[in-house]
Amino acid sequence: MRAFSDLLEVLLFSPRRTVKLAHLVNWIRSTDDPDRGWGLAALTCDLSFSGVKSGVVRELAEQVTDPDLFALSYDFVGDLAETVALLWPDSDPVSDGKKPSLSEVVGVLTSIHRKDAVLQLSDWMNKLKVSERWALLKLATGGMRVGVSARLVRVSLAQAYDKNVSEIEQIWPLLEPPYATLFDWLEGRAEKPDAAGRAVFHPVMLAAPIDEKTLCSLNLKDWQIEWKWDGARIQLVSAEEGVRLFSRSGDDISAAFPELTRPMRWQGVLDGEILAGRPDKIESFNALQQRLIGKGWTKLQLSSPVFVRFYDLLSAGVEDLRGQPLAKRRNRLEQEKAKIDHDLFDLSELLQVTKQAELARHRDKCRQGGLIEGVMLKDKHSPYKAGREKGLWYKWKRDPLYADLVIVWPARAWQTFILLL
């Protein structure tokens, strides 16, 4: 646990992305299996222990302090795990028992029942120092909050083994903690896991902002023009094993949108946008955001309906279309869409614009209702390339009519109040 607690601590107090990345790479290279895999799984939120919730941690606090002191301490510190870790008395170093390894902790917590969790955590806490106690409780409750995203973990793996991050992102949905098959491939002991025919993520193509000078130089007849909707970029992958929905960073968000991932006979990879509401009545992004952050969906699904508006096709069946020009992919998208029986799937509208003044008028229309952010301009000859390659796709967003002011003041050490004006 000591190495894992040290990692969490340096990640928490390292604001720069490059520094966090360096610490992650060092952890990957210097930590033995399976501890390194379990540590990465904790950071990517791929671990969950049903027997340990915040109530268990509060019961731990009751063992070492009275309710009033705990309430005052929690209000000052702000984080439940840190509060209990600080309040817990240090053990006698002479009588200190063997400290548990990260793998041992994960193994026990995976199958532990709530009634046994307090006693087990208490036993471990008596053997650990304060930073290790904090790491233990963060791991047990699943709330890391050290400024590391799942994508940053994948980037660190790519950097540690001199791989392209897109290779790791593609096979990530096939992996299970502690990622033995991943490390076998990365370290040359086995072949790369086969993603052929599987519902896996493909790195997405992104648009670059456009300036007035570049805009004026374009021959709009060579560009596919669409609305830029205020939604969430997604990739839908349908394969024999089922349908999965990925965010643009490669996170599997299928669980939040079960109505969009019901099984279908068509197989392929579609690129698009999730929007709140229905095609004939689109709602604001705020309604969609509740679905993105929600853990349950039954009631939320009824009150916050969503649909997908597709605008590109990466593959159809086993045929990879990414190397074909956009104009051909669009025609194929329309053909393939007709084969899919799903009332929550829609196609992006193509705007017939050939003059700059007409394009500007379309952009000005975006202010009506606030549901459209601007216009997209895509080279009709462009292949589908991962990342943001300048000169192929552009976004021309509407200018804001007001400024967003964010006023922040502290409530607790780990909490803030935010006022948007």
The model's pLDDT over 241-267, given as tens digits with 9 standing for 90+, comes to 999 999 998 888 998 899 999 999 999
| 175-193 average pLDDT score | 96
What pTM was estimated for this model as a whole? 0.77
pLDDT in tens, 37-57: 999 999 998 888 988 888 999
| 13-40 average pLDDT score | 96
Confidence of residue 31 (pLDDT cuts 50, 70, 90): very high
Give the span between the Cα atoms of 181 and 177, in whole angstroms.
Answer: 9
Q: Residue 244: its pLDDT value, please?
A: 95
Closest CA to 416 of 407, 69, 105: 407
Ordered structural domains, the chain, with CATH: 208-397 (3.30.470.30)
| 208-224 average pLDDT score | 94
Instruction: Enter the DSSP assignment of 350.
Output: B
- Please say whether the beta carbons of 351 and 365 come within 8 A: no
| 278-282 average pLDDT score | 88
Give the span between the Cα atoms of 287 and 127, in whole angstroms.
Answer: 47
Q: Residue 281: its pLDDT value, please?
A: 87
